[in-house]
Amino acid sequence: MAGNISRYGKFLTGLIALFFAANGLSQTVSGTVIGNDKQPVFGLSVSCGSMIGKTDVEGKFTVPCSGKTLAFFSEELDTVFITLDAFQQQGSKIQLKQTATELQEVEIKSRLLFFDIGYLPPIKGVQIATGTSSIIQTESQSGAKSTGNPRELFAKVPGLNIWESDGAGIQMGVGGRGLSPNRAANFNMRQNGYDISADALGYPESYYTPPLEALSSIEIIRGSASLQYGTQFGGLMNFVMKEPNQRSPIEFTTRNTVGSYGYIGTFNRISGTHNRFEYQAYYQLKTGNGYRINSDFTQHQGFAQVGYHINENQRIRLEYTRMSYLAQQAGGLTDKQFEEDPLQSVRDRNWFKVNWNVLALHYDWEISKTTRFNVRAFGMVSQRLSLGFLGKISQADPGGNREMIQGDFKNAGVEARLLHRYSVSKKASIIGVVLVGARYYQGQTTSIQGTAPTGRDANFQLLHPDDVENSSFSFPSKNAAAFVENIWFIKQRWTVNAGARLEYITSASSGFYKQYSIHPLNFDTLAVYKIEDENQLTRTVPLAGIGSSFKTGKLSSLYTNFCMNYRAVNFNDIRINNANIIVDTLIRDEYGSTTELGWRGFVVPYLYVDVAAFYLFYGDKIGLAPQPNGVKKIRTNIGDAVNKGVELFAEFDFIKAFRDSAKISSSVFVNFSYIDAKYVRSKESNYIGKQVEYVSPVLLRAGLKIRHDRWSAQLQGSYNSSQFADASNAVEPSGDAVIGEIPAYFVVDFSARYAFRKFFQLEFGINNMLNSSYYTRRATAYPGPGILPSDGINFYTTLQFKLGEGK
C-alpha cells in the first residue's frame, strides 16, 4: 500500500504535505535522515506499509510500520526505498543523495515553517514557480478565519491593495502593484488549479471565495512562471483545499463562531481514507445583520471531493463546489453622510444574490520518476442577480419599480500539463525541467437588464422577461492556448527560466439595448428605440517571459523576471446601462509587461528578508474619468500607465534566533510597499502625470506574534495612504460621491488561539480595535453607488472540535 501512495506526497506548509493511509499496526520504527551535506533533512515523508510519518527539524522520525520496506519521498525529491532490515543494520540512519539545490530549498522552507508565509519551490507537481511567488499557510494563521479578514490573510504579501466591501469575507477584492482590486479581476483566480471566476477572459470577476477554514494554503505566482496559467497582469492566485485525512477512515471537524452585528458562522467538515479511496466534504453557513442597517446577509457553501488511487502511479479526483448567498445592499453614502454617521443607509430596497456551481475532474499520472502528467477538466453554471435603485446616491429613492440585472455564466474547459526532468550536461552540472501544456475554454455569458416589481423584499422577477426595458445580450467566447515553461539548474547555484504562451481568443456579443426619448419638461416617454447590436472580435496573442535566480548564499538568492501581460475587454461591462457612467464604444484590450528584481533569504537564522523592485507597464489602461462637457463619467482607455515601486517584507523570530530549541517563538514582521503609479500617455493631456486610480503609494502592515505549541497571540496594524477614485485625481468629491479622494487610514487587529490537550480549540479576536472610521472604495454601481464604509470595531469567538484525527 505504501507504494500506492508514496508517489503522491505533497509539500505541506511550504515544504511537504503528506498523503497517508490507514491500516493495521505491528511495530514502530524510528530513525534519522541526513543529506549529502551531513545536515538533517526536515519535513521528509517516511512511509512503512500503510503508515506515514515525517522527519522533524533534527531529521528524526517515528512511524508505525506494517511492512518490510521504508520509503522516503517528497514532491521534489525522488523516492528512495530501503528494506527495514538493511535500515536497522546501518544504525537506523539514512543519507539521501539529493542535489545541493534541493537541500537548500528544503532548509529554507524548514525555517519558514515557523512563519505563516514562504515561497513555492521551483518545481511542485506539474507546476513551475519562480520570481515573487508566495504561499500563505492558512492552517497556521491566526485571525478571523470564519469571516476571512483580508487584512490578516494577506498581511505578509507585499504590494496588495484591498477593498473591504463587506465584513463577512463573502467577496474578495484584492489587487497587487497598483492593479484594481475589483473582485480580484486582475488575478487568475483558481481553486485546486482550475478556474472559478465568472468568465476567464470576458468577465474575470470572482463572486465566489472559498472558506478560509477549508484551505491549507493560498498560492500566488507572479512573473514569467505565471504565463502557464494565463495572461493576467496580477498573475495567479490559487486556493488550495486541505487534503483528506489519510490516517483515519473518518475525521470530523466543526468550527462555530459568534461575533458582533449578529454574526453566526458554522463550518463542518468530514474526511478520511479507506484503502484506495479518499473523500472529504464540508458545509459552511454565515449569517449576520451587517455593520450598517439594511446589510443582512446569509451565505451557504458546500464542497465534496472523492479520490481514488488507480495504482501506485495514477490517481483520479472529482470535486463539486456549491455556493449561494443573499445580501441586502445598504448602498453608498455621500461624503457628508459618511461624516455624519457611517452606519446610516439611504437605500432599503437593494439586494444582491449569487448562486455558484463548479464541477472539476483531476487525473494525475506519474509516468516515471522524471515525468508527470496532469489533466483537469472543469465546468461552471452560475448566476448573479442585483436588484434595486441605481440612481445617484445624492438622489432619494423615488420608490416604484426597481431595476434588475441578471447575469448567467456557463463555461467549461480542459487543461493538460506534462512536466519532464532531464539532464542537459552532467559534466557542466546542468539539469532541466520542461513543462508543456494546452488549454481549451468555452464560455457563454448572458446579461439581462430590466424592470422588477416595487417593494422592499428580495423579489428577483422581471416584469417583462420577454421584452426587457433596458438590454439583453449574449456573450459567447472561445479560448485555446498552448504554453511552455522551462527551468535550468546550472551548477547548483544558478537557475534560468523561460516561458511562452500563445492565446487564440474569440469574443462576441449579440443582443439589443433600448434608448428612450424623454420630454424635457414633464419627463414623459416620447419614443422607445430598440437597437440591435452584434459584434465579434478574434485575436491571436503571443506572450513571453524570462527570469533568473542566483544563490548569493546557502539560504539566499537574487532573482529577476520579465513577463508580458494582456487583458481582454470586458463585454459584459460594456453593455450594462448605468445611470452614472457611459462606455466608450471604441474601448480596446489592455496590454503590458512586468519587470522585477529582488533578493530574498535569511540574513541571520530566523531573520527572513524579501526585497524587490518592479516596473509594470500598462498600455491602454481602462479606467473611469469625468466626461468632457458632461455630468456623467466615461469608462474608456485612459492611456498608458507605468507602475513602479519597491516592496519589502521582513520577519524576525527573536526567540528562535537565539535558542532554536525554545518552545515559544516570538516574531515581528514588517510589510512595506511604495508604489509610484502614473499615466505617461493619454488622449486627455490633463491626465498625463496623474496618479492611477485606486493606488495607495504607501502600504504598510506590521505585527507581532507570540506562539507556543498550544497557544498563540497576534497584534497587527495596517496602513494605506490616500488614493484617488478616478484618473483626474479629483480631491474634492463629486456630488454623487463616485469621484474624490479616498483618505488614508490605519486599522489594528488582534487575534489569539488556545488549543486544549484533546479535541477542542478556542479562538477569539478584535478587528479594528481602535474603531477607525474609514472606507476603501467609491462604487460607481452595486453595491453603491457612493462611499462604502468599512466595518467598525467588532469581536468574534470560535470554538473548534475535532475528532478522529488519527495518529
Structure confidence by residue, pLDDT tens digits, 225-250? 889 999 989 999 999 999 998 888 99
Torsion-angle region of 60 (φ positive above 0: left; ψ -120 to 50: alpha; else: beta): beta
Structure confidence by residue, pLDDT tens digits, 116-169? 777 788 888 898 887 678 888 888 788 899 999 999 999 999 999 999 978 888
Structure confidence by residue, pLDDT tens digits, 65-81? 766 778 776 644 556 76
Residue type, 495: T
pLDDT of residue 334: 95
3-class DSSP state of 589: coil
In the structure, how many helices (H) and strands (E) does the chain have? 6, 46
What's the length of the chain? 807
Which of these, 541, 473, 536, 544, lies nearest to 506 by C-alpha position?
A: 536
Q: Per-residue DSSP letters for 407-459?
A: EEEEEEEEEEEEEEEEEEETTTTEEEEEEEEEEEEEEEEEEEEEEE-SSSS--
| pLDDT above 90: residue 10 | no
Cell for 438? 494546452
| pLDDT above 80: residue 546 | yes
The whole-angstrom separation of Cα 94 and Cα 482 is: 43
pLDDT of residue 248: 87
The whole-angstrom separation of Cα 673 and Cα 807 is: 43
Cβ proximity of 150 and 172 under 8 Å = yes
Cell for 216? 491549507
Which of these, 612, 615, 613, lies nearest to 593 by C-alpha position?
A: 615
Place of cell 435603485: 389
pTM, entire model: 0.87
Cβ proximity of 484 and 490 under 8 Å = no
634 phi and psi angles, rounded to 5 deg: -115, 135
pLDDT of residue 6: 36
How far from each other are the two terminal CA atoms of the chain, in whole angstroms? 17
| pLDDT above 50: residue 9 | no
Strand partners, 444: 410, 476
The whole-angstrom separation of Cα 374 and Cα 385 is: 36
- CA 576 and chain centroid, separation: 27
Cβ proximity of 471 and 465 under 8 Å = no
Structure confidence by residue, pLDDT tens digits, 255-273? 999 999 999 999 999 999 9
More confident residue, 94 or 740: 740
The whole-angstrom separation of Cα 348 and Cα 336 is: 19
373 phi and psi angles, rounded to 5 deg: -135, 140
More confident residue, 324 or 111: 324
Structure confidence by residue, pLDDT tens digits, 45-58? 787 765 677 776 57
pLDDT of residue 537: 86
Question: Average pLDDT, whole number, for the chain?
Answer: 87
- Quote the DSSP letter at residue 504: E
The whole-angstrom separation of Cα 393 and Cα 338 is: 12
| pLDDT above 90: residue 556 | no
Q: What is the mean pLDDT of residues 337-345?
A: 96
Mean pLDDT is lowest, of 94-108, 635-649, 657-671, for: 94-108
Q: Is the dihedral of CA 677, 682, 688, 694 positive or negative?
A: negative
pLDDT of residue 570: 75
More confident residue, 708 or 754: 754
Structure confidence by residue, pLDDT tens digits, 708-737? 888 999 999 999 999 999 889 999 998 889
511 phi and psi angles, rounded to 5 deg: 165, -150
Structure confidence by residue, pLDDT tens digits, 271-319? 999 989 999 999 999 999 999 999 999 999 999 999 999 988 899 999 9
